[in-house]
Amino acid sequence: MSETFFEPAPAARTSGAGRAGTFLGFVLLTALAAGAGGLIGLQMVETVRDSVALNASQSARKTSFSPIYVSNAQLRTLMPMVTNLAAPRDTWIRLQASVILKDEANEEASLLVSRIEQDVLAYLRTITLSQIEGAGGLQHLREDLNERAKIRSKGLVRELILESLVVQ
């Protein structure tokens, strides 16, 4: 038997021209990708610059003094309230708060404050310790007391501010 070696066909051989074409295609695609990436990058830089400039102008407007409450609002401090909670019965709560009243409440402010104190004290007697635990419980208590004060005052209370809360 004679030994025959497999010889590749002439078309399958790699030539210098084929390698140069592949290299040229690779360089062209790389340059195209770099150009596209550069254009997208420039566009993103402009978008970020515009966004930063917009945020800076908005924060400059926010830092200028604009009072939350008008100058004719009144701050009235409520008496400290101490009572026991609904459950557990041996748990006591002490609450200090203030209310911000509208100016129209001038004539009846002290009467209104005493009514709000009574309402808050009655509400505190109905809650349990588990209802006011944690940040969420404190937030719910604050919202409930604000709502009750606004209802009791027929809209003359702008906000009830919790100054201190001690549960023992």
| pLDDT at res. 9 | 58
| pLDDT at res. 83 | 95
3-state helix/strand/coil string of 124-142: HCCCEHHHHCHHHHHHHHH
| pLDDT at res. 63 | 58
| pLDDT at res. 56 | 84
152: which residues sit within 8 A by CB, 6+ positions away?
A: 112, 115, 116, 119
| pLDDT at res. 164 | 94
Per-residue pLDDT of the chain (168 residues; tens, 9 = 90+): 556 666 655 555 556 678 888 999 999 999 999 999 999 999 999 999 999 988 888 876 765 555 666 667 888 999 999 999 999 999 999 999 999 988 776 777 889 999 999 999 999 999 999 999 999 999 999 999 999 999 998 888 989 999 999 999
Q: What are the φ/ψ torsions at residue 49 (nearest 5 degrees)?
A: -60, -45
| pLDDT at res. 110 | 86
| pLDDT at res. 124 | 95
